[in-house]
Structure 1
Amino acid sequence: MDVAVIKYNAGNVQSVLYALERLGANASLTDNWEAIKKADKVIFPGQGEASTAMKYLKERKLDELIKELEQPFFGICLGLQLLCEHSEEYDTDCLGIFPVKVKKFPPEDKVPHIGWNNLENLKSPLLDGLDDNAYVYYVHSFFAEIHSAYTIATSHYITDFSALLHRDNYYAMQAHPEKSSVSGEKILTNFLKL
């Protein structure tokens, strides 16, 4: 199975590639349109800042490509936030796959949210085999609001937020599955089976 991991100058990509390799996927880091379009699955990972990442995507017209893809697509951390409509981080318009706003956690002395936190209200085949309250690993200062149609799991830190989102072929997760031990490996395995 060929997995394209979208290159857009965001951090934390290598650990995603290692995790996919451990699961037996043939993964490559690329910003090449044809390679991304041909892949069986696409992963959009990253840590970083929304406006810089969106600028890179637009310069390479990857923003247009992402909206056209039909194969299973998985955004991770910043990848989830960029799939939303708008981020408060430097007032950034994002890709709009999910009609959801990304906001900064208040207050300043409580961010970033780093560490293990549980998933609640699980409702997707992507989460098959996980117990309600399975723990995953977070590093983020911004969060996606909850959407009644597209939120497939929630977490709580200061406020409830979308831990995972799903719409059509697009899935996204705020935590880092590649750093989330057994729970994260299960989610990546489920994604590869979609």
Structure 2
Amino acid sequence: MEIAVVDYKGGNVQSVLFALERLGVRATLTADADTIRRADKILFPGEGEAASAMHELRAQGLDQLLPTLTQPFLGICLGMQLLGTHSEENDTDMLGILPFEVKRFPKDQAYKVPHMGWNNLHRLRSPLFDGLQDEDYVYFVHSYYAPVGDYTIAEGEYPTPFSAAVQHRNFYAVQFHTEKSGPVGTRILENFLNL
């Protein structure tokens, strides 16, 4: 099985590559369109800021390529947000694969932004979560979120409900870091590789 990890300078991808290695899977870190097109599975991790990420995706032509892919695709953290239509973060137009607008968490004295640390998943509804339980914990680091909608396959709360995971056709994405979420994150990666 060929696994491609999309390289758009979107943060530290080494932890994702190491997580795959622990599963006995070798992945190619690449921005090459042909390599991405022929891969059996695509991972799209990201950390950082939306406008810079979209600038890099456009510079490499990946903004045109990624929406056309038909193989199983997993966005992680910023890689999930980039699948939406628009972000409040620097008023950024995104890839438009899923019909959500990324919002900033409201300022609230009881909740610090960014939302950082372990939090529960709720209302799991996808084969991506086979073998997991409602209330399992995963690791989040984000200041922006996708609202809950028809595309939501898992929810989180901080303090407002948000999409912890989404799906549209072959595009799956999670707001949390699978590679930093211990056995739960490992199981999600395994389930994705088995889709």
Q: TM-score, normalised by structure 2?
A: 0.97
Secondary structure of the residue that 2:82 maps to in structure 1?
helix
Q: Give secondary structure in 2 for the equivalent of 1:182.
A: helix
Match of 2:157 in 1: 156
CA drift at 1:46: 1.0
* In structure 1, distance between residues paired with 2:174 and 2:12: 14
Unaligned runs of 5+ in 1: none
Task: Return the offset for 1:43.
Answer: 0.4
Instruction: Supply the AA of the counterpart residue of 1:51.
Output: A
SS in 2 for 1:83: coil
1:108 CA displacement: 7.1
Aligned-pair RMSD on alpha carbons? 0.9
- Contact 1:98 1:167 survives alignment (8 Å): yes
Please list the CA deviations of residues 89-131 of structure 1 after superposition, one character each: whole Å capped at 9, or x if unmatched: 0000101111001011111762111100000000000110000
Q: Distance between the aligned counterparts of 2:56 and 2:124, measured in 1?
A: 33
Q: 2-side partners of 1:74 and 1:173: how far apart?
A: 8
User: What does the per-residue CA deviation read over 1:3-22, in whole Å, with 9 as the maximum and x for residues that have no partner?
Assistant: 10000111120000000111
Mapping 1:38-53, distance limit 5 Å: 38-53=38-53
Q: Which residue of 1 aligns with 2:167?
A: 166
TM-score, normalised to structure 1's length?
Answer: 0.97
Q: For structure 2, which runs of at least 5 residues remain unmatched after alignment?
A: none
Residue identity matched to 2:86: H
Residue by residue over 1:45-100, the C-alpha shift from the partner in whole angstroms, topping out at 9 and shown as x without a partner, is 01010001001101111011101101000000000000011100000010111100
Residue of structure 2 equivalent to 1:141: 143
2:191 matched residue in structure 1: 190
Q: Distance in 1 between matches of 2:11 and 2:129?
A: 25
Distance 2:45 2:12 in 1: 7
Aligned to 1:23: 23
Counterpart Cα distance in 2 of 1:108 and 1:101: 21
For each residue in 1:161-185, what CA deviation from the matched residue of structure 2 results, as whole angstroms up to 9, or x when unmatched?
0000001000000000000001100
Q: Which runs of 4+ in 1 moved over 3 A?
A: none
Q: Distance in 1 between matches of 2:179 and 2:37?
A: 23
In the alignment, the residues of structure 2 paired with residue 3 and residue 157 of structure 1 have an alpha-carbon distance, to the nearest angstrom, of: 33
Structure 2: distance between partners of 1:46 and 1:58: 15
Q: Which moved more, 1:170-179 or 1:6-15?
A: 6-15
Work out the percentage of aligned pairs sharing the same amino acid: 58
List aligned pairs for 1:55-134, cutoff 5 A. 55-107=55-107, 110-134=112-136
SS state at 1:145 partner: coil
